[in-house]
Amino acid sequence: MSQLHHDHRKGLLITGIGGLVLSADIPLLRLGQGETWSTLLLRSSTTLLCALIIWVIWNLITGKRRTLLPGKTGFLVAALYGMASIAFMTAVYNTKTANLVFILAFNTVFAALLSWVFLKERPKAVTFIAMFLMLIGVGIIVREGLSSGHVFGDLMGLLSTFILASAITVTRASGKDMSFAAMMGTAVPMTVAAFMVSQNGFHVAVPGWIIFNGAVVTTIAFICLATGPRFLSGPEVAMFYLLETVLTPIWVWLVFSERPTDATLVGGIIIISALIGHSLWQMYHSRRRARTTIIRHPI
C-alpha cells in the first residue's frame, strides 16, 4: 500500500511539473517577437533535435532500441500533432492569449465525442453536462472574438484542439506507445515553416526565447505529461493540463499587461469549472470502482 502511495505522489509531482512548465509556452513565444513561420521553424526544429538526442541517449542507456513511430499509425499520430501545432501557432498570432488557452481546454469535449463515434465509448450523462457547459463557455469567448476581430484566431484555436483530440483518439485506438510521436510530429510544421521562411525570410527579434522554449519548455512538458499516466489515472493527469489554461493568461497579464476581457473571463471560468467538476467526478468514480473490485477479489 505504501508503494502505491509513493507512486501516486511521484505521479503528482512529475505531472504537476509538466503542466506548470507548459504554461510558459505562449509567453515565451510572445517574448521571441518573431514572425509566425520563423518562430514555428525555430521552435519545431529545436524540439525535434532534442527528441532525437533523447532517443539516442535512451537507447544507449537502456541497451534497447525504442521505436520512434510505431508503424503507419505512428506516422498518422505524428502528422496530426504536427498539423495541430501549425493551427496552434497561427492562433497564437491571431487572437488574445486568454481566448486561446480557454478554447484549448475544449480538447476534452472533442476527445469524448470522437471516442463515442469511433471507439464506441459512449460518454456518461455527467460528461454530456460538462460538454454542454463548455460549449456555452467557448460560445461566449468566440462571440466576443466576433466583435473584437479575433474570430479567425479563435477558430484556428478550435481547429488545433480538434486535431489534437483526433491524435489522442487514434493513439487510444492503436493501443501502442506513442510517447515520441508528439515530438517527432514537429517535423511537419518545421517542413512547412521552412518553405514559408524561404519565401519571406527569417524574422525573430529575440531567438533565444524560442530556442529555450523548444529545447527546454516543450521537451520537459512532453516528457512529464507523457510519463504521468504511469502513476496516475487519466482524470488526474487531465487536471494538470488545466494549469496552462489557468496560469498562461496570468503570465501574459503580468508580462505584457494584456488583461483578458470580461467576456473571456466569464467564458473561461465556465470552461474551467466544468472541466474540474467533471475530472473530480471521474476520479471519485474510478476510485469507487477500484475499491469495489478489491472487495470482490481480495488478495
Residue spans of the domains in the chain: they are: 11-296
- Confirm if 192 and 19 have CB atoms less than 8 A apart: no
- Confirm if 210 and 204 have CB atoms less than 8 A apart: yes
Q: Is the pLDDT of residue 299 over 60?
A: no
**Percent of the chain's residues with pLDDT above 90:** 29
**pLDDT classification of 1: cutoffs 50, 70, 90:** very low
Residue 148's pLDDT is 67
| Statement: the pTM of the whole predicted model exceeds 0.85 | no
Query: Residue 130 and residue 145: Cα distance in Å, rounded?
Result: 23
For the chain, give the mean pLDDT: 83
Q: What is the pLDDT of residues 53-107, one digit of tens each?
A: 999 998 999 888 888 888 899 899 899 989 999 999 899 889 887 788 778 777 7
Q: What is the pLDDT of residues 202-228, one digit of tens each?
A: 999 999 999 999 999 998 887 787 676
**pLDDT classification of 285: cutoffs 50, 70, 90:** confident
Which residues have a Cβ under 8 Å from the Cβ of 232 and sit 6 or more positions away? Answer: 8, 11, 12, 15
- Confirm if 55 and 68 have CB atoms less than 8 A apart: yes
Residue 95's pLDDT is 86
Q: Grid coordinates standing for 98?
A: 486568454
